[in-house]
Amino acid sequence: MRSPSGQPRRTSRGPELASVQLDRRRFLVVLGGFAALEAWRSTEPTLAWARRAASTLPALQPWTLPDALPAGSVEAARALVGAAVLAPSYWNTQPWRFEVDAQELRLLLDPQRTLPLSDPDQRFSQMSLGAALENLLVAARAWGQQPSVRYLPWGTSPRPGSSLVAAAVSWQPAERARDRLLQLVLTERRSNPHAFDGRAIAIQNRTQLLAQVGEEVRVHWLEDRDDVQAVAEIAHDAVELVMGDRRAQEERSAWLRGSEGEVRAKGDGMTAERLGLGGPARWLAGHSLRPGSRFYGWGTSSMAKDTRDLVRSSGALALLTLPARSDAGWLVGGQAYERFALRAATLGIAQQPLAAPVASERHRAIMARRFHAEGEEPLLLVRLGHAKAPPPAARRGVALVSTYRMS
């Protein structure tokens, strides 16, 4: 068709078609947006579950401490408990609770975190409490306080409906700060499960280590290579004996974690690597260290051999002993070990406490003879040397282990 001017009339079909195509694109974009919105809504229950799961993870204690004691009484107590919970414990069970009131801070044994089959007399649990107590005291002194301790203030048996109160601590300002050197490494101390390089411990370092232990606890030292080899064989046999008790191992395996991520998720427990287990047995620790598994015999043999090799790699060995048993002896022994370990950290010396070689009466007697400590009560075997430090292990946060009654 022609227009009145005689020119051909342009059709509108092309522009109309272009408009339809643009509207379609918009329609598809909008439709895609609705689909994405519905997909997101469908994930809301899963996201909500994930948020709830994340909120149930334990609050972990950071491996940091304030430079000074906070001013408020509650904040001061929290800072002291924060130092205490960085202590080592048997199988990283962290068997402590803290009660704080206006007069004092009490350290209690948490019976839900003990191992009655593996540690029937609670020696290792109470030594763990002693280490936590020493951390608290070191921090208090470094922050310019004079702490006072009452051991077992309610006796050796817990009151009905209560837990064993290991110690009650109060503090007041001191004339000067003390233990600053040890306080600086509270966050650096590690129990080192790695093989050491065999270098000996310098005599001056040995002297400084021994000076940290008071009169209540004795330290016996071996560094002759033949003696170290002999103790390694004793440790091998002790591990086999300990793991031969399958019921006790089943109890311990409840604290075995498959990875460091699981340790952080639960806030406690040990990985096979931190136990010193290496090679394929470590990779398969979920089977090799569990008594119900067909691989348990192999895991037992591997754990015993690896412990022997770790002891052989030591530059020196120390046996901590009590001259005689006493009600507060294990608490004091834990304190002595922790000061010993902290001083080692200041000197750049790696250390690892070993419980299996002193877990049975039989092997305590053998160890005492080997270290010429007959008649004394062995507490811990500690291997010493040089190796790269492992990362810190997870600790439950102050809020999870303490209660406050301030009036």
* Alpha carbon distance 6, 94 (integer Å): 100
Over range 246-271, report the average pLDDT.
97
Per-residue pLDDT, averaged over 96-102, amounts to: 94
160, pLDDT greater than 80: no
> pLDDT higher for 253 or 156?
253
Residue 340's Cβ-count burial label (10 Å; 0-12, 13-18, 19+) is buried
Q: Summarize the confidence of residues 184-189 as an average pLDDT.
A: 98
Mean pLDDT score of the chain: 89
Check pLDDT > 60 for residue 54. Answer: no
Q: At residue 165, does pLDDT exceed 80?
A: yes
**Do 73-188+395-405 and 203-385 share a fold?**
yes
Tell me, what's the pLDDT at 5? 47
**Residue 17 pLDDT > 70:** no
* Percent of the chain whose predicted confidence (pLDDT) is above 90: 80
CA distance 265 to 287: 21
Measured between alpha carbons, how far is 89 from 124 in angstroms, rounded to an integer?
8
Instruction: Answer whether 395's CB lies under 8 Å from 270's CB.
Output: no
Query: Residue 246's pLDDT is what?
Result: 97
Are 386 and 199 contacting, i.e. CB atoms less than 8 angstroms apart?
A: yes
pLDDT for residue 53: 42
What would the two tokens of residue 170 be?
A: 């109060």
Give pLDDT, residue 324. 86
d(CA 38, CA 33): 9
Would you say residue 6 has pLDDT above 70? no
> Could you tell me the pLDDT band of residue 172, with boundaries at 50, 70 and 90?
very high
Asked if residue 249 lies in contact with residue 243, where contact means CB atoms within 8 angstroms, the answer is yes
How much is the pLDDT for 56? 56
pLDDT of residue 4: 44
The C-alpha atoms of residue 378 and residue 364 are separated, in whole angstroms, by 6
CA 151 to each of CA 110, 114, 168, 215, 405: distance values in angstroms, whole numbers, following the listed order: 17, 20, 7, 17, 21
Under the phi-then-psi rule, with left for phi > 0, alpha for psi from -120 to 50, and beta for the rest, what region is 92? Answer: left
- Alpha-carbon separation of residue 58 from 40, 116, 264 (angstroms): 29, 24, 8
The pLDDT assigned to 23 comes to 53
- Report the length, in residues, of the chain: 407
**How many CA atoms within 13 Å lie on the side-chain side of 376?**
22
**Segment 154-179 mean pLDDT:** 89
Q: What is the third-level CATH fold of 203-385?
A: NADH Oxidase (3.40.109)
pLDDT greater at residue 293 or residue 324: 293
**pLDDT score of 46 more than 90:** no
- What is residue 26's predicted lDDT score, i.e. its pLDDT? 53
Question: What is the pLDDT averaged over residues 280-285?
Answer: 93
As a whole-number percent, the residues of the chain with pLDDT over 70 amount to: 85
Output the pLDDT for position 214.
86
Q: What is the pTM (predicted TM-score) of this model?
A: 0.86
Q: Which residues of 50-74 are buried (b: 16+ CB within 10 A; e: fewer)?
A: eeeeeeeebebbebebeeebeeeee
Residue 218 has pLDDT above 60, yes or no: yes
Domain boundaries, the chain: 73-188+395-405, 203-385
Across 334-342, average pLDDT: 98
pLDDT reported for residue 28: 43
CATH hierarchy code of domain 73-188+395-405: 3.40.109.10
pLDDT at 371 over 60: yes
